[in-house]
Structure 1
């Protein structure tokens, strides 16, 4: 297995930053400005790490961790956007962080972990790893939606987000299972190579799996007609952090979906392009 710390550098930095925020909050109980400095330094270092990824991938893309992660300019660009969205989200929601007091540190940690999950989605080339990134990000957003715990709207937002998000995750992983049953691979590159090397006599199972993958992602990004949950969930969420929840989910999910469809299903471009047009 070829291990590349460059490929997961931003994710490592964000995870360590989350640990530092929690440890400092537990042992020192600092004022909010200390958390602000830690968050700023963490995001700056993550941005630098993404810059190194971009420089490394400008010549040629590289695979690591047994082909489960790819370092390319597309993934680096998505990661740049995610770091920027996280910074803007924390800046816009800083009033909420200060108002929450001790739980403000938890809000920062949740933003970091959601960003980490979406970065994994943007750079993963394996359906299982994409699902892991999706769940890391989703769990963080579920808690963020109800972190204020002051109104029934916040509780309703978190509950609706959790229930429908769990349904979307189940749809996605079922689609991945059907694709694996039809091709014998969970790698998006391996799936594409399967279609290049073999004639699929009964592609129905794979096509249904592909459709379920698209539906699962469409639920996560609240694309029509899978957006009915979004108004209540976002209305009850903290005002300052809603922008992060919306933008980060769309960047990470659409980056993963683009990689899945282009790498794994170029053979079915007519089918999935029509489906995306409807969304």
Structure 2
């Protein structure tokens, strides 16, 4: 039986809600308190087993909340064929839980028969573009649904690159019909690390193709020259600069599903819920301001 046969029905309000990444630490608190949160997101690879406690909890939560499925292991940018067994497991998860959104990263994490515990960047060349598009076409055909592609957090720039990142992502969406997941923290991290302007980046980003937003924290370090170096660690609260960029984005896009990510240094459930509520409050305020501006105009 598909999860949608008993699961929470998604209405238009979903698209103006904030969600939280689901962690085992919070299973009991969520089931017992039934918080007013828009949705939950899970990393697909954590639920690729056939059963057990993770699926029991996820099934119970899916019955009450919309779900977003976020893959971290497809290795879309790898110079090797996609793992067909992995694709089959992803398809089974999509069929089982029927998430509202399904996303993956513009990155690679495999080489030969090995998998690396990181999401690594790719050069922005026409050859790489064609390679990524073929993989996304394969994924969307295998899933029978649209995929969202997430912009990367990067720490370096390849001398081989001939495309700007925003143009590269725009062309992927145009060729494949995939939608985009805009990770605002990744924008901030990449722009600080590579000394780009975050405002210029967002002004050039294809916001019309964005269907979901991610917000997360990062760690501050310095490189060998003493320059700021941000690490996309997901182990801190959302930084104020990321909130500022988020407000700028939603003034242009309007409200959309926004996720609070936390993958390490997991806090108590109320702290994450408070950040989700802050994101919703920002979306509500932005909508009210736009309506007021429209009336005054």
Greater share of helix residues, 1 or 2?
1
TM above 0.5: no
Length-normalised TM-score, structure 1: 0.26
| Greater RCO, 1 or 2 (C-alpha within 8 Å, sep 6+) | 1
Greater share of strand residues, 1 or 2?
2
Length-normalised TM-score, structure 2: 0.25
